A and B are shown apart, each in its own frame.
Chain A
Amino acid sequence: GAVVSQHPSWVICKSGTSVKIECRSLDFQATTMFWYRQFPKQSLMLMATSNEGSKATYEQGVEKDKFLINHASLTLSTLTVTSAHPEDSSFYICSARGLAGEDTGELFFGEGSRLTVL
């Protein structure tokens, strides 16, 4: 299957700093990428849908100024957690689907990024 790479896999930062997480589709072009947050022992919560070259669509309750998403190319989307606080500590996972015409409808996930804010 297609490969989605996420980096870093884990990060520890001080409260008030900003952290950037990258999501790359390695062997296909992804028009749309998704960012999820997962709390312990819970399923995934969709945060936002990111489309290449346009603004992300955020789910209700997700602060767009807090979680900045950029999808500058067909293979890269980034999530920046700004002014991070301990309550932002979580597991963040990205996923991607392919270009129209190459899109089988299958969703591919990155390895996830564990953020710990001290």
Chain B
Amino acid sequence: KQEVTQIPAALSVPEGENLVLNCSFTDSAIYNLQWFRQDPGKGLTSLLLIQSSQREQTSGRLNASLDKSSGRSTLYIAASQPGDSATYLCAVRPAYNFNKFYFGSGTKLNVKP
């Protein structure tokens, strides 16, 4: 069974810093990996989707990378802002079951003004 881990569980940084969030998974047979943002009391907002054949995806100040062989993905946030404060979750979709998504427990980010 796929297991997804996110470290650290919480992160606090001053505004303007570049930061990296980590996501690791145990089974490299994945279809894709998706990063989400969740604000308190809200649903999940899709940030980036990386297909298994891709190495990275970029959207604005966000860059996500994928290394299937090592079972790792990183979400890089450039020039962090207080508005980036939220919980970030990664989810892995296995190659053998399109209806299964394995979620990490998330990293709670606090960007201090």
Interface residue ranges of A4-55 to B (CB < 8 Å): 4, 6, 32, 34, 42-44, 46, 49
Main secondary structure, interface of B, reads: strand
In the complex, whether A91 has a CB less than 8 A from a CB of chain B is yes
Interface residue ranges of A49-96 to B (CB < 8 Å): 49, 57, 91, 93, 95
Determine the chain A residues whose CB is within 8 A of the CB of B36 once the complex forms: 109
Count residues of B near A (Cβ-Cβ below 8 Å): 22
Q: How far is the CA of A53 from the CA of B107 in the complex (A)?
A: 37
Determine the chain A residues whose CB is within 8 A of the CB of B44 once the complex forms: 44, 93, 95, 109
Nearest-CB distance from A66 to chain B (Å)?
22
Q: How far is the CA of A106 from the CA of B49 in the complex (A)?
A: 7
Determine the chain A residues whose CB is within 8 A of the CB of B42 once the complex forms: 111-112
Main secondary structure, interface of A, reads: strand
- Chain B 21-41: CB-based contact to A (< 8 A → 1; otherwise 0): 000000000011010100001
Determine the chain B residues whose CB is within 8 A of the CB of A103 once the complex forms: 98
Indicate if the CB atoms of A109 and B89 lie closer than 8 Å: no
Interface residue ranges of B42-74 to A (CB < 8 Å): 42-46, 49, 51
The chain A residue sitting closest to B106, CB to CB, is A43
Indicate if the CB atoms of B43 and A110 lie closer than 8 Å: yes
Indicate if the CB atoms of B101 and A107 lie closer than 8 Å: yes
Determine the chain B residues whose CB is within 8 A of the CB of A1 once the complex forms: 46
Question: Which A positions have Cβ atoms within 8 angstroms of B?
Answer: 1, 4, 6, 32, 34, 42-44, 46, 49, 57, 91, 93, 95, 97, 103-112, 114
7 nearest A-B residue pairs (beta carbon)? A109-B44, A112-B43, A109-B43, A111-B43, A43-B105, A105-B32, A106-B49
